[in-house]
Amino acid sequence: MAPITTLHYLVVAAALFVLGTIGVLTRRNVVIVLMSIELILNAVNLNLVAFSRLWGLHGQVFAIFVVTDAAAEAAVGLGILIAFFRNKETVNVDEVDLLKW
C-alpha cells in the first residue's frame, strides 16, 4: 500500500463534504439537515488539520474556532427548530413555507 499522504486525508474530507451536501439537498427532516451541516463543517475541519501538518499550527487553531462556531450555530438552529415546531407541529422542511406567496 502507498504511504498515507495529505492527499488521502483531503479525499476523505471531500467524501464527507459530498455526503453532507447530499444530506442537505435531499432530506426532508430538519434535524437530519442540521446534522448534515455538521458533517460539512467536520469535512472542512479535517481539511484544515490535514494542511496544518504542512504549513504549521495555524490550521489547528482555525479548526478550534470552527468547532466553537459549529456549537453556536447548532444551538441557535435547534432553538429555531423548536420554536417553529411549537407553532406548526412538523419537522418537514417542505412545510416551512409560511412566507411563500
Partner 1 sequence: MQPVATTFFFYLLAGLTVASGAAVIMRKNAIHSALALIVALLGQAGLYLMLYAPFVAGVQIILYAGGIMVLFLFVIMLVNIERAQKEEQFNKQWLVGIVAAVALGALFVVVYIKGQALFPAHTVQLPEESNTQQIGVLLYGNYMFAFEIASLLLLVAIIGAVVMAKKKI
- Chain positions 33 to 52 lying near partner 1, rule: CB under 8 A, are 34-36, 38-39, 42, 45-46, 49-50, 52
User: Based on CB atoms, which residue is closest to partner 1, 94 or 97?
Assistant: 94
Indicate whether 88 belongs to the interface with partner 1 (CB under 8 A): no
Q: Does 18 bind partner 1 (CB under 8 A)?
A: yes
Question: Least distance in Å: CB of 11 to partner 1?
Answer: 6
Cβ at position 99, least distance to partner 1 in Å: 17
Rank residues 39 and 97 by Cβ distance to partner 1 and give the closer one.
39
Contacts of 71 (CB under 8 A, 6+ apart): none
For cell 412545510, name the residue: 95
Q: Which of 73, 2, 83, 1 is nearest to 42 (CA)?
A: 73
Give least dist CB 101 to partner 1, A.
20
List CB contacts of 36: < 8 A, sequence separation 6 or more. 19, 20, 21, 22, 23, 24, 27
Question: C-alpha cell of 65?
Answer: 474556532
Q: CA-CA distance, 62 to 19, in Å (whole number)? A: 23
Among 72, 87, 98, 99, the residue binding partner 1 under the rule CB under 8 A is 72
